Amino acid sequence: VAVYVAGDLEIGTIRQGPGCPRETARPPLATDTVRFAGEVVAVVIAESERAGKDAADLVWVDIEPLDAVADLDAAMAEDAPVLFPEVGSNVVVDRVGDRDEDLFAGADVVVEARFHNQRVAPVPIETNNALAVPNDDGTMTLWVGSQNVFGHVPIAKVIGMEKSDLRVRVTDMGGGFGAKFYMYPEQVLTAAAAKALGRPVKWVESRTDNLTGMTHGRCQDQHLELGLTSDGLIVGLRATVSQDTGAYPTFGAFIPSWTNLMASGTYVIPRIETHYRSVVTNTVPIHAYRGAGRPEAAAMVERIVDIAAAELGMDPVELRRKNLLAPADFPYETPTGAKYDTGDYAAALDRALELADYDGRRADQARRRESGDRLQLGVGVSCYVEITAPGEPMEWSSVEIHEDGTATAWVGTSGHGQGHETAFAQIVGELLG
């Protein structure tokens, strides 16, 4: 039916990540430069999947090889090839400030470590998709598998439509894990093609395309320094995070700010200094995945606490218990500005230790080590608290009571398979009696 390359469709760019240079905005179709394996370079519209694949096989892409950088160290090297020459550097967000030389005042020991929180692929059961249906009155309905229906409304602007003329709809879907928050180029192109052709256009991603095109998660380098007294009291923490954002910085460039926000973990840490930078590489873009920066924070804090326990010769549980926030400390604001409402972390830890038979596990571990048993036992401990709704906690709802005693509730959240309809009905029913 049609074949499109850059310039054939009237489309704009997908907005760059927060705080990133405008020049890093992503074109839905590669324009002049291909920055990662998996980037869209051409669109084939066909009457059937088979015809589309046959036609796609006839597309020949002539690409002149360029030097690439596939990891953070390579991207930040002095002589690194720059993905966006007009920006002048692969560092697209730089929040690395001066160091406080008194941060560890009063510490008897300072432990230091570097961690890599590895890149992961979300791999939902259902791949990405879109169905764009143009209407006779110039409006369009766009069906997408999305966790964030409102985040796909800007597709209207990208393809030159009024926002009020595009209705985005979401049904139940087979997994998202954060990766389906993103407004994907293929979804933009599906809508743009439907607008250009004046007929419905559908796109369903193959598993291969999903693995090369869907945003990835994590991919942080973390440099941690923790100062403690000889009896195990934490006096200060310094965290410097380098975030790989992939070829186009999206929300992933913002993720380390949440990592640093949660750097205090479950502990009382009087002084915390945080730094971060976000860097582009010739890889799949990074976006939200299962906690978006917060599990990365828990991982780095818990690992450095374990290293400190080993350095001091303390049981890792006792070191944690010594520094946990107490119920009397709440409400509590951490040095990074995170506000904790309530909790009893020591009680939760004690209950977990009881359920896991921690003392028994440690005794078993000691016996195995002493006897040189071929099968050794590792015992890990981790405390976790997550900052939820870390942005502005805004939401909308309305309830109308009808004359016949029934009620209608509207909510601003978008359900896509979790049973929102049942849960909200139960909440409203319980509150109204």
Q: Which two tokens stand for residue 67?
A: 């030097």
Q: Provide the pLDDT for residue 392.
A: 62
Compute CA distances 76 → 3, 168, 249, whole Å: 38, 40, 15
Q: Which two tokens stand for residue 293?
A: 């920066």
| pLDDT tens column, 197-234 | 999 999 999 999 999 999 999 999 999 999 999 999 99
| pLDDT tens column, 234-270 | 999 999 999 999 999 999 999 999 999 999 999 999 9
Positions in the chain whose pLDDT score sits under 50? none
Contact between 109 and 133 (Cβ < 8 Å): no
Q: Provide the pLDDT for residue 388.
A: 80
d(CA 146, CA 182): 8
Say how many Å lie between the first and final Cα of the chain, rounded: 58
Q: Among candidates 271, 264, 414, which has minimal Cα distance to 325?
A: 264
d(CA 221, CA 211): 23
Q: Provide the pLDDT for residue 417.
A: 85
Q: Provide the pLDDT for residue 390.
A: 66
